[in-house]
Amino acid sequence: MSWIDWLVLLASLVGIVGYGLYKGRGSNTVQGYLLADKSMPWWAMGLSIMATQASAITFIGTTGQGYSDGMRFVQFYFGLPLAMILIAAFVVPMFHRSGVVTAYEFIENRFDAKTRVAACIIFLIQRGLGAGLALYAPAVVLSVIMGWPERFTVIIMAVIVLAYAVPGGIKAVTWTDVQQMILIFLGVIAAFTTALVLLPKNVSFGDALYLAGVSGRLNAVDLSFDLNNRYNIWSGLIGGMFLALSYFGCDQSQVQRYLTGKSIRHSRLSLIFNAIAKVPLQFFILLTGAMVFTFYLFEAPPMLFNRVESARLAQTADPAIAQQLSVVEQQYQQSLTERRIVSEALVLQKNAEVTPAMGSRLQTPEDLRSANAAVLASRQKGVELLKQVNGGVAYDDTNYIFLTFVMKYFPIGMIGLVMAAIFAAAMSTISAELNSLATSSTIDLYRRFLKRDGTDRHYVNVSKLSTVFWGIYAATFAFFGGSLGSLIEAINMVGSLFYGSLLGVFVLAFAFPRATANGAFIGLIVGEITVLATSKLSTISFLWYNVVGCAVVVAVGLLISRFEKSSRIE
């Protein structure tokens, strides 16, 4: 990067940390540190909720997903607006009126302590892993830019986040989220605009959409019903709705956001704002990835986007592999040339600049699909050679696609803006998750079972220490992020292993007055075991794990409750 890009990036990071420290001053009570004294307006909560979701994974993983797999991932979010409406209508009022600090405190009020602890532990495990993935994403950025070890950059990022999340609490986190979300919006717009501007002069936006569509990158809606298909309209509407219900209704990182609201109305408006804005935002980011793919129809992409692994393959000491690599690279370049020729011809034909009368052989969409397949086939040969060099270790460079494009083709200043947006997204997500993990640890475990009569200052200090602990935990898990493939899929797959079971407990609490504490507890345990077994023994899409987990918890919980002599109804 140029000094201008570094200046943009560093100024953004310093500004965000400084602003967080400024806004978080005076948070020296439990209500102030953990709930911002219930003083947040709806628009700040709404942007904070969106910023928490729009992590660096959104930039790195979603754009790469749009490039490699098309836009069908957007269906993952189709159930979110429905979930937001349900939560705003029924869940928000109950949480606000109960006066709880955490979602799992509500579970004890409705059931008992053991169910609260079980739900809390499931949340801590799942969200701790999610924080690790969110922390790993910016490490990918710096490893690409500077060639630094990813573990080193994980530690740097953790320290930056803890610098303002520990002193300022939820107030600092929320108000920095507002600034970070503005930066994120600017980064998305800049990335999309740059991708279009860099297209050949004779290729319009309409031409780019046409080529992306022909290549299968505009597959935004799949109406087929297939449990093994990760992304179709049914898995998105049903599985995605269950995931969103659990995430926004049971996950402390989100519940804590709207518990800081001035009123029930403000909390509801923050969720409705996300219901309206989330799907268009994700669509736009995926479309950016599709435009990057179209750009690379005319420019030669690297065979391997991870430049470190690419260099390792090129420097192999095995003469047999080196000879095979030379052949594969020639095949790859030839297939790229053929794909570019087909793409250029299709654009000319679309705009009636080439006709049969001119003696030109007309190309067809099938020709482009065949050319794409040839490129992928030759690239896969390179991947197989890399696996041999690495002793059979799997290779996935989805998370490097967008960053490689940014670093090579973006103008000076724009690189710094995009990098600042990526870091802003990472910091907003990580700080929010660490804060919620600390809140649940302090309120649901420490205050409930270890020290019930401590002062506000004592619990605030425990929350700060908990934030540091979870930062270390997340950094440790982040060290293994590179082996998880597409980050945007990995983060949601991890969540889906736990969210459905949590949702089932809250459904029992909210919708079934006769459900008992033992029923909820046993249902939660059985549901989680069922989900883990389903993930190991079946091939169904991970989105359906949320449906399976919720259904099993509710069914088992009601069955156990039926045989109990009495129910605890409050």
pLDDT score for 557: 93
Cα–Cα distance between 181 and 48 in angstroms, integer?
8
The answer to whether residues 26 and 109 belong to one domain is yes
The answer to whether residues 556 and 527 belong to one domain is yes
The answer to whether residues 329 and 378 belong to one domain is yes
- Residue 21 domain-assigned? yes
Beta carbons of 385 and 43 less than 8 angstroms apart: no
- Residue 95 domain-assigned? yes
The answer to whether residues 423 and 506 belong to one domain is yes
431 contacts: CB under 8 Å, gap ≥ 6: 20, 161, 164, 165, 172, 173, 176, 177
pLDDT score for 569: 46
- Residue 59 domain-assigned? yes
pLDDT score for 361: 65
- Residue 402 domain-assigned? no
Rg (CA), the chain: 25
- Residue 79 domain-assigned? yes
pLDDT score for 480: 66
pLDDT score for 562: 87
Domains held by the chain: number = 2
pLDDT score for 379: 92
The answer to whether residues 316 and 265 belong to one domain is no
Q: Establish how many alpha carbons lie within 13 A of residue 202's alpha carbon, considering only the half-sphere containing its beta carbon.
A: 12
- pLDDT profile of the chain (570 residues), mean per 10: 85 83 76 84 86 71 84 87 92 89 91 92 85 76 70 82 82 82 82 88 91 88 79 85 86 87 91 90 90 92 87 88 92 94 89 59 85 93 90 80 86 84 78 88 91 87 92 81 54 78 92 90 93 88 86 93 63
Beta carbons of 173 and 254 less than 8 angstroms apart: no
What is residue 40's three-state secondary structure? Answer: strand
The answer to whether residues 370 and 491 belong to one domain is no
The answer to whether residues 214 and 334 belong to one domain is no
Q: Domain range spanning residue 149?
A: 3-297+407-562
Buried b (16+ CB within 10 A) or exposed e, 474-484: bbebbbebbeb
pLDDT score for 422: 78
